[in-house]
Chains A and B, each alone.
Chain A
Amino acid sequence: MDAAVAFITSFPLVLVVSLLFEGIDRKIHARMQKRIGPPIIQPFYDLIKLFNKERIIPVTASTRVFEIMPMIAAAASILGASILLSNTLSGLGMIGDLILVMYLLAMSSIALMVGGLASGNPYAAIGFSRKMSMMIAYEIPMFIAIISVAFGPPAVLTIDRVIKFQISTRLPLAVSSLSMASAAATLLLCIPAAASVVPFDIPEAKTEIIYGFLIEYGGPYLALAKIAKAVSNFTLTLLVSVVFLYIPSLLGEEALINLGISLSICLAVSLLIMFATITVPRTIFARLKIGQAFKFYWMLPLALSILSIILSVIGL
Chain B
Amino acid sequence: MTAERDVEREVEVEYTRLRIPFGPIHPALKEPVLLRVSVRGEEVVDVDMALGHVHRGIELLAEGRNLIQTLYLIERICGICSHSHTTCFIQALEEIGGITPSKRALYLRTLIFEMERIHSHLLLLGVIAYEIGFDTLFMFTWHVREKILDLFEKITGNRIHHAMNTIGGVRWDLTPRMVEEIDAYMREVEKSVKYIHNVFMDGTVEKRVCGLGVLSYDDAVKLCVVGPTARGSGVDIDVRRDHPYAAYDELKRDFSVVVERGCDVYARTEVRILEIFESINIIRAILDRLPDGPIRPKENVFRLMRGIPEGEAISLVEAPRGELLYFVKTDGSGGLKRLKVRTPTFSNLIGLKPMLIGCEIADVPVIVASIDPCLSCTNRLIVIDQERGESNVIDVDSLRHRVRRRWMRQ
Q: A: which residues have CB within 8 A of B?
A: 32-35, 59-60, 120, 122-123, 125-126, 129, 198-199, 201-202, 205-210, 282-290, 292
Contact = CB atoms under 8 A, between A and B. Distances in A.
A207 B130 contact: yes
16 contacts: A33-B135, A34-B139, A59-B4, A60-B11, A122-B11, A125-B18, A126-B39, A206-B27, A207-B130, A208-B364, A283-B136, A286-B132, A286-B137, A286-B205, A287-B132, A288-B208
B8 interface: yes
B143 interface: yes
A287 B208 contact: yes
Contacts of A120: 8, 11
A125 B20 CA distance: 11
Contact of B133 (A32, A34, A199, A210): A199
Contacts of A292: 207
Interface of B: 4, 7-8, 11, 15, 18-21, 26-28, 39, 41-42, 129-137, 139-140, 143, 204-205, 207-208, 360-365
Contacts of B143: 34
A144 B363 CA distance: 33
Contacts of A285: 133-134, 204
Given A207-B28, A289-B362, A122 B18 contact: yes
Contacts of B135: 33, 198, 282-283
Contacts of A35: 139
A122 B20 contact: yes
Given A199-B204, A289-B360, A290-B42, A208 B365 contact: yes
B326 to A, nearest CB: 34
B129 A286 contact: yes
B361 A208 contact: yes
A291 B352 CA distance: 24
B329 to A, nearest CB: 42
Nearest to B10: A122
Contact of A287 (B8, B42, B134): B134
A300 B12 CA distance: 38
Contacts of B8: 60, 120
A201 B133 contact: yes
A183 B133 CA distance: 29
A60 B7 contact: yes
B136 A32 contact: yes
A207 to B, nearest CB: 4
A208 B129 CA distance: 13
Nearest to B363: A289
B136 A33 contact: yes
A206 B15 CA distance: 22
User: Quick one: which of A198, A205, A286, A292 has the most chain B CB within 10 A?
Assistant: A286
Nearest to A208: B362
Contact of A286 (B18, B28, B134, B360): B134
A282 B18 CA distance: 30
Contacts of B136: 32-33, 283-284
